[in-house]
Structure 1
Amino acid sequence: MEKKKLISILFAGLLFFTFIIGYNIGLNKESKIKKDTKDKKQQLNLDVSVGKIRDKKILNKIVSKDAEIIFEMECTNESKYMIERRKKAEDEGIVGKKGIELEKIYKKAGYVVKEINDNKVEMIRGTLKYKPNSYILMTENNEIIIAHSDKNGSVFDSEGNILDRQGTGTFLESLRAEDISNIINGHESIQYATNTELNDSIKDFDIKYEIPE
């Protein structure tokens, strides 16, 4: 009788142990599936934002000391891009780096490499979406400008022109590092519901400009 009881206990323990192992394997497999799905979605979004103009060979090219790095944003659905900012590769600290390294560095802001040659490094990204019907601080050719988003959160019209563009005469590099990052990444702190909010805020950026009421 005692022997049967012992066997029953051992059998129950074995079943429990088997269940725990199976459960953990299932969790790990589910976690891996979710991660792979997320990675695929991120890659899909990346590919969609830049169309079919990328050349994978570019990722192995190395940035020249004499090159200029140019950051561009897509402003229409027809692969038309606006230059946001430009800088010497040496000043940006990317000389000697490969294209694949650049994509890791600028991944947060959504940039991918379009071109690398002796004279330039071209980084492109899809159009940023902002809060609808808001005043936006963004950068065009190194200058801080004020734009206005439409009901869909876009700052471009169908022809790729910036909506209600107002120049400020202030350059991006004159701002604090945190402010530069917020403008580049389209942070909500640089999006304003009214021109009053905008005017009050840009004083903190030391931008000598005020949009008319």
Structure 2
Amino acid sequence: MEKKKIYAIEIICLICFTFLLGYTIGLSKAEKNINNNSYESSMDVNVPKTVSDKALNKVVSENAEVVFQMQCDSNNGSKYIVERRKKASDEGIVGKKGNELEQKYKDEGYILKDINNETVQMIRKPLVYNPKAYVLMTENNEIVIAHANEKGSIFDEKGNIIERQGTGTKLQSLRPEDIKNIVKGDKSIQYKSNVELNDSIKDFDIKYEMPE
């Protein structure tokens, strides 16, 4: 009888241990799933979204002008510079809806702000360049030379372009591939020094030399 009691106690203990082990594993998996879901949610919050959801269903009119803007004030995001302007007909977007525009310009980092009969506003966050690099960018359709700071930003705390140098050269005068590189902030338009910039800028047929 004594052996049977000991055996029964051992069985009960084994069952209890198995139950506790299964409960612990299940709880651990549940907590892991919660953490993963929280991470995905926080990622979703950081995804840039259209400023106006109503604009997604608006249609671009034939006489509209597309205005591409870049945020230059990192503090509140309310200050923008106009990078370039172009007729909607030249961009081939007449009759397209806002959601189609976001897909078209997604690779360039733009989101849709608004559409009306006269204007289509596309905005994006600042590009980040190599630290201390001299870069080619656009402002009001003009090629501009800027100097990035140690964080790769071309804007100071007030939202002004650092060491801005205008060239007088219009963006549309360049080759399509060069325009694409400048718009996207490609490595090919970033230079370690003004000497390298002056040597390379001739390939863009820009009649300008950055002072040393």
Bin the TM-score by the shorter chain.
0.7 to 0.9
Matched, 1:90 2:79: no
Structure 1 segments (4+ residues) deviating >2 Å: 39-45
- Residue in 1 that maps onto 2:52: 55
TM-score normalised over the length of structure 1: 0.77
- Aligned to 1:210, what secondary structure does the other structure show? coil
Seen in structure 2, the aligned counterparts of structure 1 residues 190 and 43 have a Cα distance that, compared at 3 Å, is: farther
Distance of 1:194 and 1:75 partners within structure 2: 23
Larger radius of gyration: 2
Amino acid in the other structure paired with 2:86:
K
- Aligned to 1:46, what secondary structure does the other structure show? coil
Distance of 1:146 and 1:83 partners within structure 2: 15
Distance of 1:41 and 1:65 partners within structure 2: 37
- Residue in 1 that maps onto 2:135: 136
State the 1:45 CA deviation. 3.3
Q: Please provide the CA RMSD for this pair.
A: 2.0
* Length, aligned pairs only: 174
Distance of 1:153 and 1:110 partners within structure 2: 17
Amino acid in the other structure paired with 2:105:
Y
Q: Percent identity?
A: 60
Distance of 1:154 and 1:43 partners within structure 2: 24
- Residue in 1 that maps onto 2:25: none
State the 1:41 CA deviation. 3.6
Please, which runs of 5 or more residues in structure 1 have no aligned partner? 1-32
Matched, 1:118 2:117: yes
State the 1:175 CA deviation. 0.6
State the 1:212 CA deviation. 1.1
Please, which runs of 5 or more residues in structure 2 have no aligned partner? 1-35
Seen in structure 2, the aligned counterparts of structure 1 residues 106 and 42 have a Cα distance that, compared at 3 Å, is: farther
